[in-house]
């Protein structure tokens, strides 16, 4: 496949013209080639188009930890057929080399095989309902099959937790999920999970270093996308994989639920038991059918859906940022909750691995939800728990009360899931929760939604709400108020500049309070060995900077998926002698201090930027 030189305008500057010509010659997708050719023609007369073209070819979309994410556009700097095929080829090459060297691909479950380890290696592939997701998934399957490996594709657009479940359930050697999670409609992504041996705590979790860098090297060596071998020997799974997920998820969550709700259906002739009224939005994503299935299997009343957001729609017409953390994203769900008198308002992001919760018109923070879920899990299944260094220290306090091990990790479930081989619960403040790590080695918005609904139902039967439960929890561990500031940059280099300035000139005071300590993970962290945390309390090197004000803290971190600088704030206020009556006063003091600290941080960010 070649494109004649005359296809490009002669006025296109070198060396850009040469890079574009080489890419066009190797791009297997006719629509992507046509898009790039049109942009080249526009670039001759439109400086903005030339800047766009140069941006696409300035650097390739990097295959970092977990995989790829970027805008849907032709060229090496976007998500497109050529980039996806090369990514799949790099993953397949890594699997062949790893299996040949270790014989790891020898599972005994459905889809696994014996004999030649490389030939037995299995990749299970899922996708959401975004633009081109299915096409990218099927292309990945063809590339994997063309490399002589086994490829199974999920039966349709499904939540990311179903794919993560399938990796462990089918004992696959790797999993691919085509999704950009909560990014805007113009984006897509390519998330990678690794299998591994049974004792490995990372089996079925997102990949980490050094595998990510090794796979990226193999992607770079994959050769022209148009020449990558394809095969149609892949197979599409049927609906039983979803049924298996629903059955396993419901059984696991009911086992963790408040005792009175393990059998929520009344005996014949008895009055129907009280249930929480739930309003729910999948934010135009793929969560609705799976969530409905787990609610029904658990004996809960169906949630009332936000009609205009119920069906998958890759354009996300009602939410420019389909992220329940973003201001306004849950407005329709909150309005529906008010109309129907809901006890609980739930939202999942487009691939349903995150879950947001509102009660009485108030959005709970990810930390509040995480602590409620952790408390419930530890009542039924005491064991190690983990969260990230940007999440609330309340989990540490709760673990101390329960007498269990607490682990703190870098941001991301790839780290949380590897925090402890016996992990029973993990969460991060960005609305991600793992209630059953043995089932799904990642965050799971479906099981989180089910668990929250069961907890709210049990509370309602006692005349309580989730807000009351939060107060009861604060009486035991103190008030932990958290907040976040997020600054979006059009020029991503300014984020690095702001972090450098912060490190070189950290403020001695914030909100008229002395900064009592600092932590810089660029200098204090260590390089990970095979993706495992080196020791308790020691974290891998990362671009994270923390300021302490006594027990309060402020953490600065560039986003790993968006051009944002994120700042996480936490204020800790003890509750006198664990008195429930003192919680309200302690919460008011904490909120006042958090508000003052937020103003100071806004001023600091303005000076840094």
Grouping H, G, I as helix, E, B as strand and the rest as coil, residue 169 is helix
| CB hemisphere CA count around 562 (13 angstroms) | 16
CB 186 within 8 A of CB 72: yes
Question: Pairing state of beta strands 564-573 and 479-488?
Answer: antiparallel
The alpha carbon torsion through 373, 379, 384, 390 (nearest 10 deg) reads 30
pLDDT at residue number 261:
42
Cα Dmax for the chain: 83
Cα angle 412-529-113, degrees, rounded to a multiple of 5 = 80
Question: Pairing state of beta strands 67-71 and 278-281?
Answer: unpaired
Residue 517 and residue 2: Cα distance in Å, rounded?
Answer: 60
Question: Does residue 523 carry a catalytic annotation?
Answer: no
Give the bridge partners for 566, in sequence order: 486, 557
- Using H for helix, E for strand and C for coil, what is the string for 34-95? HHHHHHHHHHHHCHHHHHHHHHHHHCCCCCECCEEEEEECCCCCCECHHHHHHHHHHHHHHH
pLDDT at residue number 308:
97
Q: Active-site residue among 108, 133, 140, 181?
A: 181
Domain segments of the chain as ranges: 1-58, 61-237, 241-462, 479-608
Could you say which DSSP state residue 171 is in? T
Same fold: 61-237 with 241-462: yes
Q: What are the structure tokens assigned to 594, written together?
A: 């958090």
Give the bridge partners for 406, in sequence order: 385
pLDDT at residue number 513:
94
pLDDT at residue number 262:
42
pLDDT at residue number 537:
56
pLDDT at residue number 293:
98
Question: Pairing state of beta strands 545-549 and 517-520?
Answer: antiparallel
pLDDT at residue number 458:
96
CB 178 within 8 A of CB 188: yes
Residue 23 and residue 21: Cα distance in Å, rounded?
Answer: 5
Residue 349 and residue 329: Cα distance in Å, rounded?
Answer: 10
Architecture of domain 241-462: 3-Layer(aba) Sandwich (3.40)
- Using H for helix, E for strand and C for coil, what is the string for 278-306? EEEECCCCCCHHHHHHHHHHCCCCCCEEC
What values do phi and psi take at 357, rounded to 5? -135, 140
CATH numeric code, 479-608? 3.30.310.50
| CB hemisphere CA count around 127 (13 angstroms) | 22
CB 193 within 8 A of CB 207: yes
Q: What are the structure tokens assigned to 163, written together?
A: 């794919």
> 133-146 and 81-102 are packed helices; what angle lies between their axes, rounded to 10 degrees?
40
Residue 464 host element (H or E) = none
Residue 216 and residue 269: Cα distance in Å, rounded?
Answer: 62
Q: What are the structure tokens assigned to 359, written together?
A: 């009660």
pLDDT at residue number 5:
41
The alpha carbons of the chain give a radius of gyration, in whole angstroms, of 25
pLDDT, mean of each 10-residue run, the chain (609 residues) = 53 89 96 96 94 94 84 97 98 89 41 45 97 98 97 98 97 97 95 83 88 93 96 98 98 88 51 89 98 98 98 96 94 98 98 97 97 97 96 96 95 92 96 96 98 98 96 95 88 88 94 93 61 56 92 91 88 84 93 96 87
pLDDT at residue number 269:
60
How many other CB atoms are found less than 10 A from the CB of residue 173?
Answer: 29
Grouping H, G, I as helix, E, B as strand and the rest as coil, residue 218 is helix
Residue 385 and residue 397: Cα distance in Å, rounded?
Answer: 11
How many other CB atoms are found less than 10 A from the CB of residue 551?
Answer: 14
> CA of 102: how far to CAs of 94, 98, 218, 237, in Å?
12, 6, 18, 28
Residue 400 and residue 588: Cα distance in Å, rounded?
Answer: 25
What values do phi and psi take at 176, rounded to 5? -125, 130
Grouping H, G, I as helix, E, B as strand and the rest as coil, residue 138 is helix
pLDDT at residue number 538:
67
Overall fold of domain 61-237: Alpha-D-Glucose-1,6-Bisphosphate; Chain A, domain 3 (3.40.120)
């Amino acid at each position: 496949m070649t494109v004649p030189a005359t296809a490009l305008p002669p006025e296109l500057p070198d060396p850009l013209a040469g890079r574009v010509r080489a890419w066009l010659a190797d791009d297997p997708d006719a629509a992507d080639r046509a898009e790039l050719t049109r942009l080249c023609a526009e670039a001759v007369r439109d400086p903005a188009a030339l800047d766009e073209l140069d941006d696409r070819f300035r650097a390739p979309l990097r295959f970092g930890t977990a995989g790829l994410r970027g805008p849907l556009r032709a060229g090496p700097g976007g998500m497109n057929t050529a980039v996806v095929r090369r990514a799949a080829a790099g993953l397949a090459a890594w699997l062949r080399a790893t299996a040949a060297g270790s014989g790891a691909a020898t599972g005994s479950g459905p889809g696994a095989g014996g004999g030649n380890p490389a030939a037995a290696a299995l990749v299970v592939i899922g996708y959401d309902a975004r633009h081109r997701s299915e096409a990218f998934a099927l292309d990945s399957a063809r590339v994997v099959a063309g490399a002589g490996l086994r490829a199974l594709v999920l039966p349709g657009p499904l939540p990311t937790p179903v794919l993560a479940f399938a990796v462990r359930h089918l004992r696959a050697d790797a999993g691919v999920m085509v999704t950009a999670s909560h990014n805007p409609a113009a984006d897509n992504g390519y998330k990678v999970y690794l299998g591994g041996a049974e004792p490995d705590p990372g089996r079925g979790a997102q990949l980490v270093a050094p595998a990510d860098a090794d796979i990226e090297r193999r992607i770079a060596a994959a050769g022209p996308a148009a020449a990558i071998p394809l095969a149609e020997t892949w197979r599409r799974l049927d609906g039983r994989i979803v049924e298996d997920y629903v059955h396993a998820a419901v059984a696991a969550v009911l086992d963790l639920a408040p005792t009175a709700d393990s059998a929520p259906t009344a005996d014949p002739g008895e009055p129907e038991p009280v249930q929480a009224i739930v309003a729910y939005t999948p934010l135009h994503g793929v969560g609705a059918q799976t969530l409905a299935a787990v609610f029904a299997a658990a004996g809960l009343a169906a949630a009332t859906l936000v009609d205009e957001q119920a069906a998958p729609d890759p354009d996300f017409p009602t939410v420019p940022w389909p992220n329940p953390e973003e201001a306004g994203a849950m407005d329709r769900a909150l309005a529906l909750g008010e109309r129907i008198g809901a006890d609980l308002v739930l939202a999942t992001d487009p691939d349903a691995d995150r879950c947001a919760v509102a009660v009485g018109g108030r959005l709970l923070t990810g930390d509040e939800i995480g602590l409620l879920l952790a408390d419930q899990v530890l009542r039924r299944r005491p064991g190690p728990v983990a969260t990230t260094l940007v999440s609330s220290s309340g989990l540490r306090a709760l673990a101390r009360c329960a007498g269990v091990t607490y682990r703190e990790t870098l941001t991301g479930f790839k780290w949380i899931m590897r925090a402890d081989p016996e992990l029973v619960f993990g969460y991060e403040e960005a609305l991600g929760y793992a209630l059953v790590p043995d089932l799904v080695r990642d965050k799971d918005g479906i099981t989180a939604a089910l668990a929250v609904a069961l907890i709210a139902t049990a509370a309602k039967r006692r005349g309580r709400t989730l807000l009351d439960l939060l107060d009861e929890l604060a009486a035991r561990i103190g008030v932990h108020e958290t907040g976040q500031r997020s600054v979006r940059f059009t020029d991503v280099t300014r984020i690095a500049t702001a972090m450098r300035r912060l490190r070189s000139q950290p403020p001695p005071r914030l909100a008229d309070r002395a900064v009592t300590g600092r932590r810089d993970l660029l200098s204090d962290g260590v390089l990970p060995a095979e993706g495992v945390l080196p020791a308790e309390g020691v974290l891998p090197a990362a671009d994270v900077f923390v300021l302490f004000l006594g027990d309060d803290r402020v953490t600065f971190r560039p986003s790993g998926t968006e051009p944002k600088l994120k700042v996480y704030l936490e204020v800790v206020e003890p509750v006198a002698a664990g008195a429930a009556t003192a919680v309200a006063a302690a919460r008011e003091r904490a909120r006042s201090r958090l508000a003052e600290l937020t103003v100071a941080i806004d001023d600091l960010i303005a000076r840094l930027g």
